[in-house]
Structure 1
Amino acid sequence: MLAHRRILLTIFASFAILGCDKAPAKSSPEGERAAATTASSSGTEEKASPGKPVKVAFSAPGADHGWLAAIVKNAREEAKRLGDVNLEVSEGATDPASQASQIDALVAGKPDVLVVLLTDGQALTPAAQAAMRARVPVVVVDRDLASPSAYRTWIGGDNYGIGFSAGNYIADQLDCKGNVVEIQGIAGISVTDLRTKGFNDALKRCNNGVQVVARQAANFLPDKGLEVMEAILQAQKKIDAVYTHDDDMAMGVVSAIQNAKRDKEMFVTGAGGSKRAMELVKSGSLYRATFLYNPSMAASAIRLARLIGQGKGLRDLTEPEVPSRIQVPATAVTKENVGSFLSFGYE
């Protein structure tokens, strides 16, 4: 547990931003696209020194979900804290077409950097590529694009790792024998695909001892989670565990199970690290575990955008560059270690 916490704190501390005093070296697009990982840090937070003002545009979906609302909140608060970031937020997109228009309008305002959290990475790849062609570097949060030519830097959590960790946790709890339900996020997006793949890969060690008896998307929404789980409970007479892709959505799943008076039969895991989910984990109830996927990554995205706009890199890297891909590891939060992570929970 402590090792997991140190890893998490190291990753977050790496973005304390970290202005590099060296002049940026010229590099090829291939060099900028090279895979990179975060450098280690001293583990202490430092306030960034004000520098050249940077105009950052941020495009986000509608905040119909606690995690999405926390993403925008973290971005706004970080821009205010830094002092030299002029942040323009455009939110409320509900589909790729409306977000593409939103991105086009933001790019027309000639920002130094564009930060995006996408409704659909595949569908919005052309819009991001157009921004890059207009010489507006794109920083992507969480949901991936279809091509590395569409972004300057991506930052997100380890979605495959969340699924793999959840699969291993459930396999251990069930001793590799039982029926499992998977409640997915939004069908077809990278987050959902990776969380499902990681889960399936982890269960392979059970040699079909754990069966996924139902798998359905509920769009990260509590109401949809309730609706989907109600139907599954009617169809499946024996369920041992429910793997959900999201803590907020899982609240609807939990309600459905409790309403059906089947909460002694099974347990639930989630992802995201909401305060409500962590409180349920701490109580030792139906909700057995969550896997940390913190919206503070939006604050890190603003810091990275600031560095890119100022032509700087991460302080602890030898190269005066911002990496092209930064991934925060998945961390299992259970009753045994939840006390160490409550401060990371979002509303």
Structure 2
Amino acid sequence: MPLKRLVAPLFLSLALGVAACGGDEEEPAGTNAETDSAATPSGGGSDGPVKIAFSAPGADHGWMAAITDNARQEAEELGDVELLAAEGVTDSAAQADQVETLLGQDPDVLVLLPNEGDALTPVAQKATEAGIPVVAVDRELAEPGAARATITGDNYGIGWQAGNYFADELKCQGNVVEIQGIAGIAVTEDRSQGFRDAIKRRCQDGIAIVASQPADFVPDKGLSVMENILQAEKQIDAVYTHDDDMAEGVVAAIENANRQDEMFLTGAGGSKAAMDRIKAGGLYRATFLYNPSMSASAIRMARLIARGEGFEELTEPEVPSHITVPATTVTKDNVEAVQELGF
């Protein structure tokens, strides 16, 4: 099936349906997929087209680019949605300004993937106070009341599954490097905490995280950060990166140093390039992902909210306030089953 076609019947259980290696360890309570009933009223119903404003950080490739592409395609296929999409930017202040401009076009709903949740919360609150419901995607806003609904991936689950995979592969002994995403955002903190919790639970002090630095989900920074770590650390058994695109730079640093035979590496996100590397074998062993189809789901959620409707599969006549997309582990054993989901 096409990458984005995880449609409404799958909203409440969006797992990819493949075996997750290293996933035998049960994730701690409270981190699995969840839905919470919304307490705030839905947008008004209408028989005309639904006007949806959409804003996400800018990207010309990778997971973030797929987010925007999937939102546009879903709006087009629904047929009764007018999508007002801002040109993506990578600066939070610029994104907030763009959202202000979108709000001036009087949308029925705002779908927002914030560059930074804290920085975009005020403009999301402004939308909510003006009667424009907000659907937050991937990154949560600082104030729960700023969003009518939120759809996120299980970032803690990504870290948890990665930690279990490392425990299995290293047999709870070795030195590990962690290349994080953007420092301070919930995605990074959750992926890091889940990883550390799983390693601690499985291995106690048997696996040491000898270096942990952010590289902002950017390949070039992944390259430079890993180059410095390779110079400082003489024994590295494995590298956990928070993003497949960023991992391309990390891979280049390791290969340039001719140290690819000393360690293995994992990513996150599920890029096609990562899956190709996993299938080929070698340095890149696994990726941990939830699908960027969540933006298509967010467009569907926004449409239902604007019409005052809910999911057909639920008794409640409203869209849940929180949906969490579960994480999946992809290794050489199952990559062919999910390779079509690569972006």
Deviation string 1:163-222 (CA, Å, 9 cap, x unpaired) is: 010011011100000000000001111100100110110111211110000000001011
Q: CA deviation at 1:93?
A: 2.3
**Which residue is equivalent to 2:174?**
178
Distance 1:65 1:236 in 2: 32
**Which residue is equivalent to 1:281?**
278
The answer to whether the 8 A contact 1:218-1:249 is kept is yes
Q: CA deviation at 1:148?
A: 1.1
Amino acid at match of 1:257: I
Q: For 1:42-191, what aligned pairs fall within 5 Å after superposition? A: 52-63=48-59, 65-191=61-187
The answer to whether the 8 A contact 1:65-1:221 is kept is no
Amino acid at match of 1:335: K
Match of 1:318 among 315, 323, 326: 315
* Displacement over 3 Å in runs of 4+: 9-13
Match of 2:195, SS state, is: helix
Q: CA deviation at 1:278?
A: 0.6
Match of 1:170, SS state, is: helix
TM-score (norm 2): 0.87
Give 5+ residue unaligned stretches, structure 1. Answer: 1-8, 17-29, 35-49
Match of 1:234 among 207, 228, 231: 231
- Using a 3 Å threshold, how does the CA distance of structure 1 residues 11 and 269 change in structure 2: closer, same or farther? farther
Deviation string 1:133-175 (CA, Å, 9 cap, x unpaired) is: 0000000110111111110110121000000100110111000
Give 5+ residue unaligned stretches, structure 2. Answer: 13-35, 41-45
Amino acid at match of 1:337: N
Distance 1:119 1:238 in 2: 35
Q: CA deviation at 1:13?
A: 3.9
The answer to whether the 8 A contact 1:274-1:345 is kept is yes
Q: CA deviation at 1:242?
A: 0.2
Q: CA deviation at 1:117?
A: 0.7
- Higher RCO (C-alpha under 8 Å, 6+ residues apart): 2
Amino acid at match of 1:253: V
**Which residue is equivalent to 1:257?**
254
Deviation string 1:247-300 (CA, Å, 9 cap, x unpaired) is: 000011011101101001000011100111011111111000001221111111
Match of 1:318, SS state, is: coil
- Using a 3 Å threshold, how does the CA distance of structure 1 residues 136 and 343 change in structure 2: closer, same or farther? same
- Using a 3 Å threshold, how does the CA distance of structure 1 residues 82 and 31 change in structure 2: closer, same or farther? closer
Q: CA deviation at 1:64?
A: 5.0
Distance 2:341 2:37 in 1: 34
Match of 1:32 among 32, 38, 41: 38
The answer to whether the 8 A contact 2:37-2:321 is kept is no
Match of 1:213, SS state, is: strand
The answer to whether the 8 A contact 1:11-1:328 is kept is no
Distance 1:183 1:227 in 2: 11
Q: CA deviation at 1:224?
A: 0.7
The answer to whether the 8 A contact 1:59-1:117 is kept is yes
**Which residue is equivalent to 2:27?**
none
The answer to whether the 8 A contact 2:11-2:323 is kept is no
Identity of aligned residues (%): 63
Match of 1:92, SS state, is: coil
In the alignment, is residue 299 of structure 1 matched against residue 305 of structure 2? no
Q: CA deviation at 1:10?
A: 7.9
Q: CA deviation at 1:65?
A: 4.7
TM-score (norm 1): 0.86
- Using a 3 Å threshold, how does the CA distance of structure 1 residues 275 and 51 change in structure 2: closer, same or farther? farther
Moved more, 77-86 or 120-129: 120-129
Moved more, 86-95 or 151-160: 86-95
